[in-house]
Amino acid sequence: MTLYSKIIGTGSYLPAKRVTNQQLADQLAEQGIETSDEWIVSRSGISARHFAEPEQKSSDLAVIAAQRALEMAQLQPNDIDLIILASSTPDFFGSFPSTACIVQKKLGMTNHGAAVDVQAVCSGFVYAVSTADAFIRAGVHKNVLVIGAEVFSRILDFKDRTTCVLFGDGAGAIVLTASEQPGVLATKLHADGRHSDILSVPGAPDGGALAGSAFLHMDGPAVFKLAVSVLEKVAHEALEQANMSSEQIDWLVPHQANIRIMSSTAKKLGLPAEKMVVTVDQHGNTSAASIPLALDVAVRDGRIKKDQTVMMEGVGGGFTWGAVLVKMNGLPEQGDFKAAL
């Protein structure tokens, strides 16, 4: 029997603290830094973002998103035999124990299933889905919880208006399960370490202290140029792998980083704006969480329906990029789950 994987549940979570552009502009003005709602919206399409409370960690956000995905999938935590969590803001400075293991603990899982973090920054969720799909196809795991969770507010320099206005906190999750029917139709991943310096947090542990900067550093123009170049190409590679054309895509769910990058990608794929899921205006760039967040919102509000075809793609530091083409044939019927909160 040939094994495939399919999505049977989605979930997401945004912290309660919502910060509008005007609120952020007022905060920055107190430090003598000028920005405005118009300036932020015109350059990114972002109107607001959510910031975690000081006591909230990536694992806390991840657990809520995971619980909602499990509820839709009608599974219990111990039905999961692998957790793959994508994050650039793990719970611990040394990145261990993994945030995936912390999530396993907080979900109350006792079945000794595997748990691991992956790091591909904003492409992390696509990398994690591709990895989960490979494990399931190989017959190694049956039910995989894939999570993207970030608290990027912890690594933002609020003296740098070119970056601090762009990012937010949040989490998204899906449940993939083994199936005789193809759900994940194609995955394609890439990386080019020659561009590792254009998006990074260049600090490193040194004798119990931090050497270098703990803040996010980004060469915005360089990231924009690379992103618009690679996203179209990787989408076509995934379509070619699945023997499909862009006309067969029902929904494009891109990494929610910048509306200009997103719109450019859709245009190059010949997709109308109405076929692109956009949530960046409400939560900013949540890195590895942004794709599953957007996916869950569109599933729960009824835009993405059972058996439709969805293209998910992202780019991130490293430089990394990738795409996943999915037929949403594992979803429950609309109305069998609650709308996104």
Q: Identify whether residues 34 and 130 lie together within a single domain.
A: yes
Nearest to 58 by CA among 107, 100, 16: 100
In a domain, 248, yes or no: yes
In a domain, 62, yes or no: yes
122 is catalytic: yes
Q: Identify whether residues 94 and 53 lie together within a single domain.
A: yes
Q: Which helix (H) or strand (E) holds 118?
A: strand 114-118
Q: How far is CA 148 from CA 24, 66, 295, 329, in A?
A: 25, 10, 12, 22
In a domain, 212, yes or no: yes
Q: Identify whether residues 173 and 211 lie together within a single domain.
A: no
Q: Identify whether residues 208 and 144 lie together within a single domain.
A: no
pLDDT value at residue 86: 98
Over range 329-339, report the average pLDDT.
74
Helices 37-44/259-268 angle, 10° precision: 30
| The residue to which tokens 């869950």 are assigned | 296
What 8-state DSSP symbol labels residue 16?
S
Q: Identify whether residues 151 and 204 lie together within a single domain.
A: no
Q: Identify whether residues 125 and 249 lie together within a single domain.
A: no
Structural contact between residues 57 and 151, judged by C-beta atoms closer than 8 angstroms: yes
Q: What is the pLDDT of residues 131-140, one digit of tens each?
A: 999 999 999 9
Q: What is the pTM of this model?
A: 0.94
Q: Helix (H, G, I), strand (E, B), or coil: what is residue 114?
A: strand
Structural contact between residues 254 and 322, judged by C-beta atoms closer than 8 angstroms: no
255 is catalytic: yes
At which of 179, 198, 214 does a domain end?
179
Over range 195-222, report the average pLDDT.
82
| The residue to which tokens 């194609």 are assigned | 186
In a domain, 38, yes or no: yes
Q: What is the pLDDT of residues 80-114, one digit of tens each?
A: 999 999 999 999 977 789 999 999 999 999 999 99
Q: Which amino acid is at 175?
A: V
Q: Identify whether residues 99 and 125 lie together within a single domain.
A: yes
Q: Identify whether residues 188 and 264 lie together within a single domain.
A: yes
pLDDT value at residue 340: 45
Cα 261 from Cα 278, distance rounded (Å)? 12
Q: Helix (H, G, I), strand (E, B), or coil: what is residue 76?
A: coil
pLDDT value at residue 339: 55
Cis check for the bond before 97: say yes or no (omega within 30 of 0).
yes
CATH number for 276: 3.40.47.10
Nearest to 80 by CA among 90, 70, 72: 70
22 pLDDT band, cuts 50/70/90, is very high
Statement: residue 57 has pLDDT above 60? yes
Q: Identify whether residues 211 and 293 lie together within a single domain.
A: yes
Q: Identify whether residues 134 and 164 lie together within a single domain.
A: yes
DSSP code per residue over 160-204: -HHHHTTB-EEEEEEEEEEESS--EEEEEEEE-GGGTTSEE---E
Catalytic residue from among 217, 255, 258, 283: 255
Range of the domain at 153: 4-179
Length of the chain measured in residues: 341
Catalytic residue from among 122, 141, 164, 283: 122
Nearest to 61 by CA among 44, 86, 96, 81: 86
In a domain, 27, yes or no: yes
Q: Identify whether residues 155 and 209 lie together within a single domain.
A: no
Across the chain, what does the average pLDDT equal? 93
202 pLDDT band, cuts 50/70/90, is confident
Nearest to 284 by CA among 153, 127, 177, 148: 153
pLDDT value at residue 335: 60
Q: In sequence order, what are the residues at sequence separation of 6 or more whose Cβ sits closer than 8 angstroms to the Cβ of residue 129? A: 146, 174, 176, 184, 187, 312, 324
Statement: residue 55 has pLDDT above 90? yes
Q: What is the pLDDT of residues 71-88, one digit of tens each?
A: 999 999 999 999 999 999
Structural contact between residues 289 and 126, judged by C-beta atoms closer than 8 angstroms: no
50 is catalytic: no
In a domain, 202, yes or no: yes
pLDDT value at residue 341: 44
Q: How many domains does the chain have?
A: 2
Q: What is the pLDDT of residues 149-185, one digit of tens each?
A: 999 999 899 988 889 999 999 999 999 999 999 999 9
At which of 129, 151, 179 does a domain end?
179
Q: Which amino acid is at 82?
A: L
Structural contact between residues 13 and 64, judged by C-beta atoms closer than 8 angstroms: yes
% the chain with pLDDT above 90: 77
233 pLDDT band, cuts 50/70/90, is very high
What's the token pair of residue 171? Answer: 């989490």
pLDDT value at residue 201: 84
Q: Which helix (H) or strand (E) holds 259?
A: helix 259-268
Q: Identify whether residues 169 and 189 lie together within a single domain.
A: no
